[in-house]
Amino acid sequence: MPKFNYETANTLVYDPVALHCDATRAVLHTLGFHNVATAPTLGEFNDSLLKGAPDLILCEAMGAEVELCDLIQSLRQGTSGYPNPFLVVIITAWEKTHTLVKRVLNSGADDLILRPFSTNLLRQHIDSHIERRKQFVVTHDYVGPDRRSDPARASTGELFQPPNSLKMKALDGFSVAAVHTRLSRELRTAKDTLNAQKLRRGGFHICVLWRLLQKADDADADVNLTELANLTQSIAKRCRAAEFDAATRLCESILAAVEGLQFGGDRNAAMRDLGQAALNLNQLFQPEKSKSSHQKAIEETVAMIRARSVGCSSADNPALKAESA
């Protein structure tokens, strides 16, 4: 079993309860962590993450689980100015509810630990993120560990190993200077991978939403239109940062069409413009695939979503249940 050295690792602990924060810091000191900073509020926690990149963060969900998970999700997306979107994130909580677990999973955090925890339990969890950290996966709305339990299930996105400065220091034994050099290099590669995957997945999802919106009487039309606007704005932000002008212009065309739909313009013209821009954007992000291949994938996804929607309606409607039986 390898021996880990945490002396040079930087850790940040967020906990609004001073007594609990001190207890966590004491456990970390027992494990050999010398550089442990604390933040008593989410604002200070966020500021600390923006100013520097710790190797490990432990954050308490009690009292602000929604805000905390939103912050972690923003961190993982890589567009909010945080130096390292891939640092090891462990969330702690006093109660394990279904809602909390779902929020933690969707945030992209690495781990969830229930309090009170022993020194040995925390050691086991931290060590696992050094030796066996999960690869990351990117979808149009998620960045974080790939938690799928079925190894036979084909991945629809590229998996990649996130940079892990905690491992570089604790296991690989690199000096602080060497870690800085290697981490800078790996971060550039990982951020490029993240950005490319977000654009690819986002562009495809815009096409799916466009196709769903073609059904004017769809009960989810307003929700889908709002999601389309938000997703396109997010993609446009990434494109502007990367100076991807052609993609930025297509995003602007999509947003103009969305505005026409929202404010009662010519629906046929808006849907035509939206579809043309969406398909061109998707092709721009995935030029290696043919138009027919893109179209097939879009139609298959739309069909799957609509079938699932009908299935949910049948399960909730006794009349539909009886009819299907």
Domain CATH for 20: 3.40.50.2300
Domain limit, last residue, from 124, 159, 174 = 174
| Inside any domain, residue 181 | no
| Same domain? 225 vs 109 | no
- Note whether 162 and 74 are same-domain residues: yes
| pLDDT of 91 over the 90 cut | yes
Q: In this structure, are 155 and 204 located in the same domain?
A: no
Is residue 165 within 8 A of residue 87, CB to CB? The reply is: yes
Mean pLDDT value of segment 73-90? 95
pLDDT-derived band of residue 148, with 50, 70 and 90 as boundaries? confident
Map the chain to HEC letters.
Answer: CCCCCCCCCEEEEECCCHHHHHHHHHHHHHHCCCEEEEECCHHHHHHHHHHCCCCEEEEECCCCHHHHHHHHHHHHHCCCCCCCCCCEEEEEECCCCHHHHHHHHHHCCCEEEECCCCHHHHHHHHHHHHHCCCCEEECCCCEEECCCCCCCCCCCCCCECCCCHHHHHHCCCCCHHHHHHHHHHHHHHHHHHHHHHHHHHHHHHHHHHHHHHCCCCCCCHHHHHHHHHHHHHHHHHHHHHCCCHHHHHHHHHHHHHHHHHHCCCCHHHHHHHHHHHHHHHHHHHCCCCCHHHHHHHHHHHHHHHHHHHHHHHHHHCHHHHHHHC
For residue 116, being part of any structural domain is answered with yes
Is 273 within the bounds of a domain? yes
Single residue among 142, 174, 206 that ends a domain in this structure:
174
pLDDT digits (tens, 9 = 90+) for 228-286: 999 999 999 999 999 999 999 999 999 999 999 998 889 999 999 999 999 999 999 99
Q: Which domain holds residue 20?
A: 10-174
Tell me the whole-structure pTM to 2 decimals: 0.85
